[in-house]
Structure 1
């Protein structure tokens, strides 16, 4: 099977990883005035005279071609900044520019975008940005300090919950001169200076007379981004067009980015329809997560004739966590022994063989595939010291070591089913007349909530429920459309559901959003498992307070141990490479960033150039 992976493609990735490790090894620097960028440790790798990102092609042809992707499900909103509605996930990165921009080569570094310069206090108690005088919204009106201050306060108090955490740590916000904004922080948290540059800026006057919090997503926000939403039909497609009058074409960070004329997202009811649309050319770029399908079904005529290219792309990101999350807010999943039993009963080896031919390795922890991941065996050194501070809150395995169960690969999975039954017995459940019941005779019951269109998840759950039946458990499996799914998961109305959380090499304040106690019951939050753990909260704090690489790695590894031994998610596959099938006319640079295929790479650095027929 033809695979596009040019010779040496791994070398730039290794160079980037080495540079990142070097940057992390530096001590935090002193205050700097009127700088072009900011790093969490040391200084930005790119100097003030840099003219493009290392993984972008400044000579790429611009303003031509299109990328069309297939999305599963539906959407009813084009506003990714509010709490309500289901929004195409790409809009968060394609709409709504920020003061600073994140590079995919340096985990802890930002460079100026809407902001011309950044100044930070030596102790990082405040940060000040100076707006570029040429910055303007897509309607031609200038981006002002007033717009910035309104955006921060409105998003922090009325917007999506992901914006609330930062705003709660701001003591004051004030205008400085004609184009400056200073944020003074209420807490000693070095990452806040970076987070202050990462909030989208909206046009204040657009929202006069409109209740931002209660708006239904039908109002398309006016932003300053290089692409404008030019056409859409709710539930079917969204099309964005390159703005020739975009204010920022000359900004160094943007050189070689945003080359494609059109970005279009087509929505389909299920994976089969989406794949067929790709095979027939209705879609021209497809990210494949099923290795078995990649190996067996990507030999259709367009691939054979060279019109479609298959690219395999490495990355150095943590695996993150993908699997099936258990809602710990209520019984039966409020008991860790029950959660461990559910993990024991999940016959990964058999399922993996059936779904992927055994080709996809399993996720072993949240930060695996990176230096932030927990090590095998007992905790040692600084990791053990950090964990000891929260010993009363730890579950078995955190200190002494933990590994996911491995089955014998047969369908019956006898040994692990036996272990699961022992754990359930300890938790007060026993099989009575073929049904698992508690001491009061109530059956072990829970609901597995799935979103329609995901045939792979449905297949996995079908095999899983057969395993659970051997324990006397018959869960209710409910499949709903995307709107209902979002409504129910926002309200945490499920027992178990599909879960995916991507993690970076620069974990920080967002960890509180993912699994902090304060977000456990926040409607629409990201702490789906509902975890409340003093150890997790404390270790996130240790992560943010780390003054050296050693402390940072230790805090991350300790946090990884507590999350993994919390048994909140039944892990499935890891993707340490990306598999992209795309039109031969769609191209990307030879040098890959450290983060690989990640938001900010496709479609950002891609371009269109017709390949001559042979």
Structure 2
């Protein structure tokens, strides 16, 4: 299990069966002007839950309070500020302590309901958004959450926070308070998603940060308004979040059945491989298994056979996202798409999948696979073709005609694909001489694959891949670094090839700019690891953000999917249609599962402890 997969299995941990997506889009009502403040807001149409809803449909309002959960994390942490680029903060800090104006339902593609804000208002064009704060909202120290706190938080995050906040902030024309208890944000350009994104920014206590440099990492626990406060912690080793019995929002409908556990504890391990052993020994409460073969063959240890540990598979209906080996095209050796296609041909997916997963996992065939947002097989047609037409001369071959990752014959030698790979390399100016691939000047084809320490499964994939590359006269260097170095090097694009995971949702929006936008090529901390600067991709992202109906959004997403997939930026591996969870038998979750499955907002949020 790789560190990236372990973290991303919750984060985004970033993935929807096409029929349900189609049904959702077909039923979504056209956007209407909001004449007055309302309890929730959806990307399209109306929220699924009425104003008088009593609980989220995937929560158990009768769940008992108490107990604890202990989770394992790879690496360590040296900061308690998760909202900046500097330092490494604990995973749970941004989830459990701070709150946002609106809360997301993971049972809908993109819908928010009031949390710190009791209502939201916008117009049909979504040129502005206005929130009305709940007067009873309080920080954990008892002080009220004020309009001043909101405005300061938004301005500070937008100018000094992590780059992920800056894309949306750049589209804010103004932020202010038109009346007591209200925050109004005006936008500079059309972007339907902004009215929702602005409701998802953490609200921090301004007074705590006075006289301090927000952009610098710190081990001072932040004061938030959430259901949990920071408990005992030891930098780099462990941290606990303790449920606040006086939490101001415990009676809200959005909170019923949530935040049931008294303590959420994270234990950190320098070697990710030890995390599974700690779970087997009973030191951890939960384990997410990403390897299908291990799930079938290695879960016969005593705690499972005795019933102390139970296995569960949590299905989801979200896109596959992209996982695999990413080419950093800032490096000249990967600038030619023919080289990237050749190295993709050399990647023997069918053999690797059989070896590591017993052949059970489906391959990622596009960035939005497993959803209605995925590009369709064959040539682009209809609105997708219209969107891409202005960029036809600059698109990578296969974008308009249709492209899919190459299939091998499943044998170790992979002869047909290797012949195609060699032909492409020769076409791109590379020739094998004396068993080494060289360019016209005689320089060898060299690059380094960056891996995180303890990423055993990823290491196995790369080992098989390197054997195949040797057939082409290429012997990559393997650099294995600790988690801190991995983050630092990838943040600064200091790698040739690396293991990348990007989880995607049913509501792609401004985050796509951070992932693939040209502005991120030279911006440290952006998620554009491949270094792609594609006018077509930027235009498709613009089309998604200005789409006035679900059909236009789908067409734009399918067009973007073509640009990404045919660009050969990543050698894709596999995805799972369900999360494999093993957990202590005294931990429980509701039978009614959300649309997104095991996604931030599911575990540990709706779980409870009961012997």
TM-score (structure 2 length as normaliser): 0.95
SS, match of residue 544 in structure 1:
helix
What residue ranges of structure 1 are gaps of 5+ in the alignment?
1-12
> Match for residue 311 of structure 1?
312
> Match for residue 151 of structure 1?
153
> Match for residue 385 of structure 1?
386
Asked whether the equivalents of residues 317 and 595 of structure 1 are also in contact (C-alpha less than 8 Å), the reply is yes
Asked whether the equivalents of residues 77 and 88 of structure 2 are also in contact (C-alpha less than 8 Å), the reply is yes
SS, match of residue 375 in structure 2:
coil
Asked whether the equivalents of residues 77 and 216 of structure 1 are also in contact (C-alpha less than 8 Å), the reply is yes
Distance 1:501 1:15, change over 3 A: closer
Once the two structures are superposed, residues 165-194 of structure 1 have per-residue CA deviations (whole angstroms, 9 ceiling, x without a partner) of 111000011112221010000011111111
- 1:95 Cα shift? 3.0
Give the Cα–Cα distance (whole angstroms) in 1 for the partners of residues 316 and 464 of structure 2.
31
> Match for residue 42 of structure 2?
39
SS, match of residue 112 in structure 2:
strand
SS, match of residue 332 in structure 2:
coil
Once the two structures are superposed, residues 281-324 of structure 1 have per-residue CA deviations (whole angstroms, 9 ceiling, x without a partner) of 00011010001110001111111111111001111000000111
> Match for residue 25 of structure 1?
28
Indicate yes or no: 2:92 matched with 1:99: no
Q: How does 1:151-230 map to 2 (within 5 A)?
A: 151-213=153-215, 215-230=216-231
Asked whether the equivalents of residues 310 and 583 of structure 2 are also in contact (C-alpha less than 8 Å), the reply is yes
SS, match of residue 127 in structure 1:
strand
Please, which moves more after superposition, 146-155 or 267-276?
A: 267-276
Asked whether the equivalents of residues 21 and 371 of structure 2 are also in contact (C-alpha less than 8 Å), the reply is no
SS, match of residue 177 in structure 2:
strand
Distance 1:55 1:32, change over 3 A: farther
Give the Cα–Cα distance (whole angstroms) in 2 for the partners of residues 69 and 175 of structure 1.
41
> Match for residue 406 of structure 1?
407
Once the two structures are superposed, residues 53-75 of structure 1 have per-residue CA deviations (whole angstroms, 9 ceiling, x without a partner) of 0000000001x111111222222
Once the two structures are superposed, residues 131-172 of structure 1 have per-residue CA deviations (whole angstroms, 9 ceiling, x without a partner) of 111111111111111110010011000000000011100001
Asked whether the equivalents of residues 333 and 339 of structure 1 are also in contact (C-alpha less than 8 Å), the reply is yes
Give the Cα–Cα distance (whole angstroms) in 2 for the partners of residues 492 and 402 of structure 1.
27
Indicate yes or no: 2:54 matched with 1:51: yes
Q: How does 1:433-472 map to 2 (within 5 A)?
A: 433-472=434-473
Give the Cα–Cα distance (whole angstroms) in 2 for the partners of residues 14 and 376 of structure 1.
16
Asked whether the equivalents of residues 17 and 370 of structure 2 are also in contact (C-alpha less than 8 Å), the reply is no
Indicate yes or no: 2:557 matched with 1:556: yes
> Match for residue 396 of structure 1?
397
What residue ranges of structure 2 are gaps of 5+ in the alignment?
1-15
Distance 1:15 1:291, change over 3 A: closer
Give the Cα–Cα distance (whole angstroms) in 1 for the partners of residues 322 and 358 of structure 2.
21
Distance 1:528 1:417, change over 3 A: same
Once the two structures are superposed, residues 193-248 of structure 1 have per-residue CA deviations (whole angstroms, 9 ceiling, x without a partner) of 111111001111111111111x1232322111111110212222121111111111
> Match for residue 8 of structure 1?
none
SS, match of residue 197 in structure 1:
helix
Please, which moves more after superposition, 485-494 or 28-37?
A: 28-37
Asked whether the equivalents of residues 24 and 549 of structure 1 are also in contact (C-alpha less than 8 Å), the reply is no
Asked whether the equivalents of residues 115 and 254 of structure 2 are also in contact (C-alpha less than 8 Å), the reply is yes
Give the Cα–Cα distance (whole angstroms) in 2 for the partners of residues 154 and 291 of structure 1.
43
> Match for residue 140 of structure 1?
142
Asked whether the equivalents of residues 71 and 266 of structure 2 are also in contact (C-alpha less than 8 Å), the reply is yes
Q: How does 1:388-537 map to 2 (within 5 A)?
A: 388-537=389-538
Asked whether the equivalents of residues 20 and 105 of structure 1 are also in contact (C-alpha less than 8 Å), the reply is no
- 1:113 Cα shift? 0.4
Asked whether the equivalents of residues 151 and 202 of structure 1 are also in contact (C-alpha less than 8 Å), the reply is yes
Once the two structures are superposed, residues 435-492 of structure 1 have per-residue CA deviations (whole angstroms, 9 ceiling, x without a partner) of 1111111111111111101111111111111111111111111011111111111110
> Match for residue 255 of structure 1?
256
Give the Cα–Cα distance (whole angstroms) in 1 for the partners of residues 421 and 311 of structure 2.
42
SS, match of residue 538 in structure 2:
helix
- 1:92 Cα shift? 2.7
Indicate yes or no: 2:569 matched with 1:568: yes
Give the Cα–Cα distance (whole angstroms) in 2 for the partners of residues 522 and 22 of structure 1.
35
SS, match of residue 230 in structure 1:
strand
SS, match of residue 113 in structure 2:
strand
Give the Cα–Cα distance (whole angstroms) in 1 for the partners of residues 19 and 256 of structure 2.
19
Once the two structures are superposed, residues 505-526 of structure 1 have per-residue CA deviations (whole angstroms, 9 ceiling, x without a partner) of 0111111111011111111111
Indicate yes or no: 2:330 matched with 1:335: no
Asked whether the equivalents of residues 17 and 318 of structure 2 are also in contact (C-alpha less than 8 Å), the reply is no
Please, which moves more after superposition, 473-482 or 84-93?
A: 84-93
Give the Cα–Cα distance (whole angstroms) in 1 for the partners of residues 582 and 473 of structure 2.
43
Asked whether the equivalents of residues 316 and 595 of structure 1 are also in contact (C-alpha less than 8 Å), the reply is yes
Give the Cα–Cα distance (whole angstroms) in 2 for the partners of residues 463 and 22 of structure 1.
42
- 1:20 Cα shift? 6.8
Once the two structures are superposed, residues 249-275 of structure 1 have per-residue CA deviations (whole angstroms, 9 ceiling, x without a partner) of 011111110001111111223343111
Asked whether the equivalents of residues 17 and 594 of structure 1 are also in contact (C-alpha less than 8 Å), the reply is no
> Match for residue 74 of structure 1?
76
Indicate yes or no: 2:577 matched with 1:584: no
Once the two structures are superposed, residues 414-452 of structure 1 have per-residue CA deviations (whole angstroms, 9 ceiling, x without a partner) of 111111111111111111121111111111111111110
Distance 1:150 1:24, change over 3 A: farther
Q: How does 1:239-250 map to 2 (within 5 A)?
A: 239-250=240-251
Asked whether the equivalents of residues 18 and 372 of structure 2 are also in contact (C-alpha less than 8 Å), the reply is no
- 1:16 Cα shift? 11
Asked whether the equivalents of residues 16 and 594 of structure 1 are also in contact (C-alpha less than 8 Å), the reply is no
Asked whether the equivalents of residues 73 and 453 of structure 1 are also in contact (C-alpha less than 8 Å), the reply is no
Distance 1:587 1:20, change over 3 A: farther
Please, which moves more after superposition, 158-167 or 18-27?
A: 18-27
Q: Please, what is the CA RMSD of the aligned residues? A: 1.6
- 1:15 Cα shift? 13
